Chains A and B, each alone.
Chain A
């Protein structure tokens, strides 16, 4: 049976207004993707690997300062600065709008990490080790990366491939938000997020939640924005601004 492939463009909407900074996404990602343990020593060396990480930042001037959380992950830029600089094509753009990393090709020049504006590429400075007790927890669908190579968020491509295989290939249906969720094919971070801050879906599917959110919020005065939009990287991860309940008008927030 020849199945006409649907061209997906995977993407994510991050609604900052809902984020509580609980770090569930970080843990889920860690578990799903066989990310080495970030011990205290490794944190101190500034070499922690967190494909998604929740950062806290301050908004406003003293005394009117507010703490904000923002989950940051690979933005899967359409116009990714990391891609052209890799000498061995270890990172490239696939036809589903994703920026993917081929571990086997990577020789570890780390140029991509330097040229990533969002700093979401991580280098394996050490050989990953897990305690004996955690070895059975490793995900068999995901490669364990050796030392000396780059890695980064993959939108849990192993799940998406399975989704294509099961939903499109075996059942012959179209992938929708519903069957992604039902089949546990959503990225682990999205699944784990208790406040639905992270919404995942296909931007090419006008029915999908992400497309609709984009349409709703990317209007004049809307909440939608992209990180470092000036750089023209055109990320596939879009953010929705925090709603400031104390600000009645736009003027006050700037005061």
Chain B
């Protein structure tokens, strides 16, 4: 734990504020040819997805079973991208200094919210009314989930975008100061007259923490609404109080994994090595380990209560979701969301590398996809949601060609939106780095170099 000569990370501490700004802004201006190549490939894949979507649409909304994988794609993108914003919010809340270089990387996922929202719209026609079946809307009109879930997700997306925009204002001002011509004009308008006065900084801080707190609460609410309305309440007899919390945990888990993977792609393909270091991977991999353990804990609490009770209604749910019909996605999710990341990340020396967290995070991203499959596909494969409990289990729905097109297109679309958003907002937050320069010092204590962190409050 405490090696005597642990190298002090955060090599940006050896730079000056001007150097940091120069470096990041320059990168922001010229992304390079590879960037555009990747975006065009992604656009092509998205096109395939749209073709798939049109085929699906032509079949109509009546056959809910056909929409299972579409719902999965929506849920997967929602859980990963919308929760990713939370990484920066949470780390900022606990004042973790190592978050500074990666805060924007996770915040940028707020832009994907627009795409998530688009994906939700067709699902509203697929979702049956709540009349005559169990739901968290109890005696409310049957269309309540359609209305409130849309509003809540919309609000979440708007809130995320506002947070992203707000937290980037100083950086956009920096771009403005370094750019010329039309670009300067554009960023002048976007920077909203940022001058960096004390008053402005105070407003920014308050705005960020308020939006962050609001986003946090809203995200938990939306997780609850979507997990119950779009999955749990469609399966008769499935009454699992922990499910919304479990859904949120898988969201956080995929969010951390997504941030780690994005970080290592940036490290690998761009020259941001100086900012994204083992420190960040170490911090996030500890979180990922904790969340993988929580994944198991929440799953176990739900599973165990059902399994021990031996009630027929609950047994049929276990059979349906875990042990018979959707056995394969469950086992894959269990292995990829819990077992493998746990085995990889339990070692501190692995957590301190770059490859270890990256490997575990990629595995978790695949795992959370299967995790989404095991909830959403079964939910849409049930014809009559108003039954008392599942007496006969419907057959498993395996993905067809259209489903695969939609999955690929959906994920490609989300990545595309993210990449385009990174053209608008610099992907490394320079003002947070510069704040870090103020609050951190490297000093010598006895024989070792040690970081000194200021606690202004």
Contact = CB atoms under 8 A, between A and B. Distances in A.
Touching chains A and B, CB distance < 8 Å: yes
B310 A79 contact: yes
Nearest to A79: B310
Interface in A28-87: 79, 81, 84
Nearest to B313: A230
Contact of A232 (B308, B315, B388): B315
A231 B311 CA distance: 5
A232 B309 CA distance: 9
A36 B187 CA distance: 89
Listed residue (B308, B312, B315, B389) with the most chain A CB atoms within 10 angstroms of its CB: B312
Q: Is the interface of B mostly helix, strand, loop or mixed?
A: helix
Interface in B288-317: 308-313, 315
A3 B216 CA distance: 73
Contacts of B388: 230
Interface in B309-341: 309-313, 315
Interface residues of A, number: 6
A132 to B, nearest CB: 48
A231 B312 CA distance: 7
A84 B309 CA distance: 10
Contact of B312 (A81, A84, A230): A230
Nearest to A232: B312
A117 to B, nearest CB: 10
Contacts of A232: 310-312, 315
A81 B389 CA distance: 20
Contacts of A79: 310
Contacts of B389: 230
Interface string B198-210: 0000000000000
Nearest to B389: A230
A230 B239 CA distance: 14
A71 B315 CA distance: 30
Contacts of A81: 309-310
A232 B308 CA distance: 12
A142 B343 CA distance: 58
B282 to A, nearest CB: 44
Contacts of B310: 79, 81, 232
A87 B315 CA distance: 24
A231 B315 CA distance: 11
Interface string B364-380: 00000000000000000
Contacts of B312: 230-232
A79 to B, nearest CB: 6
Contacts of A84: 308
A231 B389 CA distance: 12
Contacts of B309: 81
Contacts of A231: 311-312
A202 to B, nearest CB: 26
Nearest to B388: A230
A131 B201 CA distance: 87
A168 to B, nearest CB: 34
Interface string B6-38: 000000000000000000000000000000000
Interface in B169-214: none
A83 to B, nearest CB: 11
Nearest to A229: B312
A231 B313 CA distance: 8
A232 B318 CA distance: 15
A141 B311 CA distance: 37
A232 B315 CA distance: 10
A232 B313 CA distance: 9
A163 to B, nearest CB: 32
A225 to B, nearest CB: 15
Interface in A69-113: 79, 81, 84
Interface in A228-248: 230-232
Nearest to A115: B309
Contacts of B313: 230
Interface string B353-369: 00000000000000000
Nearest to B315: A232
A81 B388 CA distance: 22
A81 B314 CA distance: 15
A79 B311 CA distance: 10
B134 to A, nearest CB: 15
A84 B310 CA distance: 11
13 contacts: A79-B310, A81-B309, A81-B310, A230-B311, A230-B312, A230-B313, A230-B388, A230-B389, A231-B311, A231-B312, A232-B311, A232-B312, A232-B315
Interface of B: 308-313, 315, 388-389
4 closest pairs, A vs B, by CB? A232-B312, A232-B311, A231-B311, A79-B310
Given A84-B308, A230-B311, A232-B310, 12 more contacts: A79-B310, A81-B309, A81-B310, A230-B312, A230-B313, A230-B388, A230-B389, A231-B311, A231-B312, A232-B311, A232-B312, A232-B315
